[in-house]
Chains A and B, each alone.
Chain A
Amino acid sequence: MIPEIGHILLIITFVASILQVVFWCYNIKKSDQITIDVLQKSTFINFIFILFSFGILVYSFIISDFSLVIVSDNSHTLKPLIYKISGTWGNHEGSLMLWILILSFFTFLVSRKKNNISPKLLPSIIGIQTIILCLFLSFILFTSNPFERVDTLPIDGNGLNPLLQDPGLALHPPLLYFGYVGLSVSFSFAVAALITGEINKEWARQMRPWITIAWSALTIGIALGSWWAYYELGWGGWWFWDPVENASFMPWLIATALLHSVRILEVRFILINWTILLSILAFSFSLLGTFIVRSGLLTSVHAFASDPSRGLFILIILAIATGGPLILYATKSSSFQENKTQFNIFSKESALLINNLFLTTAASTVLIGTLYPLFLDAFNGNKISIGPAYYNATFAPIMAPVILLMAMAPFLSWGIKKPKQISKKIFFLTTITLLGGMGLFIIEESSLFSIICGSLAIWLFTGVIVDFTSQIKNANVNLSSFKTLLLFFSKNNIGIHIAHMGVAVFLAGVTGEQFYKTEFNIKKNIGDVISIGNKSLIFNKVETLAGPNYKSETATFTLLKNGTIISVLKPEKRFYPIEKSQTTEAAILSDFWGDTYLVLGDGNKETGWSIRVYFNPLISWIWGGAGLMSLGGLVSILQSRTARRQVKSTS
């Protein structure tokens, strides 16, 4: 009975949101208080209904109501509570429920901003958001009903794919969806501007925090997925250029470009069309990602829940949601009046624009690499896979100038012709970078590319430090006084510094992992010793243990450095009898300077076990860097809020 209530709530919301869209279309030219109130209240009701419906689904998972198809397919009574809950979105129907929940939440939040957003824009923004909600609700109701009942009552569920039973992955989809769906707000801003013709600096200012929050969530979501792949899949890598990873990476690249172009628009009121186009594209890439993952076109580690018959529906949604705005863009975009200023080569906007171009080019190389194998397969049945070799040759060289410019752009000022005092800073940066590069040259394993990559990290790192200290110096901050320091932080957006520092840290991690890792693949038996440099591993034993819902073969290794014991490592192979599948649990010893990564392969007492050992220097910096980027985004939102509040209180 309870699941049916959830289903009915969804149907009511679907009908209500259609009525809401009709109401908006009918009043499309109006911007009075009543229109806004009606839209705002109905948006709130939509959100509450979807929240309840989602709650019912989570409840069904918690009590293991196996009369529901998705519960019996994806859950099991023996599963720990947290994975019962995360099982809700670990499948197609549930993840769509999460998608619309977040979408209605964002719509609700944006509808409450009637004091800030121009009344001409707000109804259209809510209207566009509601159209997207309608599309996804129809997708759920017509093709993927989460509340479908089974005709055979199973004894116990099928269980969640054991690979997905992991804390990192319990949070990965919600954060990723938060990012994907967050980009719908900037999309709606852009479409609303196309419909109403209303665009100004305030439009950009209001839109920027929404992009930033979505971007931060996307960053951390992608990083969590990569971290999970690193320690759970046992491949020793952290990024595989897998189509599904790319699907989340493309919106990230576009969102990064958008984040910068919207800032140019806010300050200089130029690049209106470009910003609108990026806003549309960022969300379209999110939808394209959903299409790729959910349509069943791909067989990858990620294709846990896919079905070709649903692909068509998503393709139609994509066609409506992107095609419509692009038609509007084609007809309306030439009518916007922007500042007629020329670009000065040494101005901040030039640097940001060039970075924008590089970032979008990078996104298109990823797009081509992702879609090309699919298209080729469909046209002549050739199965090819595009791997790191392609991306190293195309993506990496495009990103190198991005890093170069990233360090310099903060030194430059808006609009000016002649830069002041930057030659000194650039000279300093170059010196430090050359010294660092020479330092890398001394290391034995270095190659040309490792030196370039490492030097770029040093360049960016130094650039951020130099910019930060010069800002502090210019503001005459008394470092010992808390009050002036606080004032400094509220006036200057150090979020930018944190995020750029994150990129530098990330890049250092990539350099260490890509160029300086050591890898062994050997067969050893109990009692053997593996020695690498000044470290050695002693193979102690293998035992069979029982977990809550799995059996495991656990090996014990002792890691010694210069003859003293550092740690005991226990790589595992787990067998999940319910799901009849096996997972590898790598044993990882992480510290600041790098990871020792140990995987237990197949084997027995007679032949020995095959063992893989990796030493990955600086690898945790990759995720640390991503964390800093995300933090930078959040700090930047906080800063702009306090700054605005101060402006309000003084005026």
Chain B
Amino acid sequence: MKSKLTIYNILPLILFSLIIMVSGYVLYEVKKKPSNQNVINSQLIGKKVPQIKIEKLKFVKKKIKNEILNFNKYTNKFYAVNFYASWCAPCRVEAPIIEELSNIIPIVGIAYKDKVQNTKKFLDDYGNPYDQIGLDTLGKIAIEWGVYGVPETFIINANGKIIYRHAGPLLYNVFQNEVLPLIRRK
């Protein structure tokens, strides 16, 4: 076998290299442009807390039926609402930080699609940081609040307006850099 390079044999390679180089340049240009994908904010920011009755978790067997959460006690106060579930792994991750937050402002916990037995066990294991706990057995309250998933945390200011929302576990850096400054400003 004798091999020799002729222009006809190299031509495909040359054309192809040109296409690749130009494509690479186009890609570089595309990447240089700033992405305009904004973080989608919650619709509820700046709005009042959704008016919906939430059944309260009872720790003692009482005969009173359907006791509901009392939001009026937080009038003129900052407070937080935290959606959680005993079956949700990230909720366990954020438990210590929720605990820390509860030392600063009261937190309303809402157990999303959770069994009463399980949520009690969860609170036994990880401690109960909540001022009061609501039950969202059917997930309807989560829809009203526009919750993306559990865990999710909302901060409500003294005027009763939602000022902050965090979807996902509240990790220490978010707590330190975003949540604390908001609360300190009050």
Contact = CB atoms under 8 A, between A and B. Distances in A.
Contacts of B26: 297, 374-375, 377-378
A323 B139 CA distance: 55
B60 interface: no
Contacts of B12: 277, 280-281, 326, 329-330
A329 B149 contact: no
A365 to B, nearest CB: 15
B16 A311 contact: no
A151 B30 contact: no
Contact of A323 (B13, B148, B149, B152): B13
Contact of A153 (B17, B24, B88): B88
Nearest to A296: B30
Interface in B82-119: 88-90, 112-113
Given A296-B30, A323-B17, A330 B9 contact: yes
B148 A335 contact: no
B16 A323 contact: yes
Nearest to B26: A378
In the complex, which range does the number of interface residues on chain A fall in?
A: 35 or more
Given A153-B88, A311-B30, A331-B3, A291 B150 contact: no
Interface string A146-180: 00001111110000000000000000000000000
A291 B23 contact: yes
A91 to B, nearest CB: 17
Contacts of A560: none
Given A329-B12, A375-B26, A152 B3 contact: no
B39 interface: no
B68 interface: no
Contacts of B16: 284, 322-323, 326
Main secondary structure of the interface of A (DSSP, over half): helix
A453 B91 CA distance: 67
Nearest to A333: B9
A297 B27 contact: yes
Interface stretch (A181-189, A312-320, A478-486, A494-502): A312-320
Q: How large is the interface on B (under 10, 10 to 19, 20 to 34, 35 or more residues)?
A: 35 or more
A385 interface: no
B124 interface: no
B169 to A, nearest CB: 6
A318 B149 CA distance: 39
B14 to A, nearest CB: 9
B142 interface: yes
Contacts of A280: 12
B84 to A, nearest CB: 11
A378 B9 contact: no
Contact of B167 (A152, A315, A329): A152
Given A152-B150, A155-B139, A326 B90 contact: no
A361 B174 CA distance: 58
B4 interface: yes
Contact of B24 (A273, A281, A315, A335): A315
30 contacts: A151-B90, A151-B169, A152-B149, A155-B142, A155-B148, A197-B1, A273-B9, A281-B12, A295-B27, A296-B30, A297-B26, A308-B30, A311-B27, A311-B31, A315-B24, A322-B16, A323-B16, A323-B17, A323-B20, A329-B13, A330-B9, A330-B10, A331-B3, A334-B4, A334-B5, A334-B6, A335-B2, A371-B22, A375-B22, A378-B26
Given A153-B149, A326-B16, 18 more contacts: A151-B168, A152-B150, A152-B168, A153-B88, A153-B90, A154-B149, A155-B112, A155-B139, A155-B147, A155-B148, A155-B149, A277-B12, A312-B24, A315-B23, A315-B27, A334-B6, A371-B22, A374-B26
Interface of A: 66, 150-155, 197, 273, 277, 280-281, 284, 291, 295-297, 308-309, 311-312, 315, 318-319, 322-323, 326-327, 329-335, 371, 374-375, 377-378
Closest 3 CB pairs of A and B: A154-B149, A152-B168, A378-B26
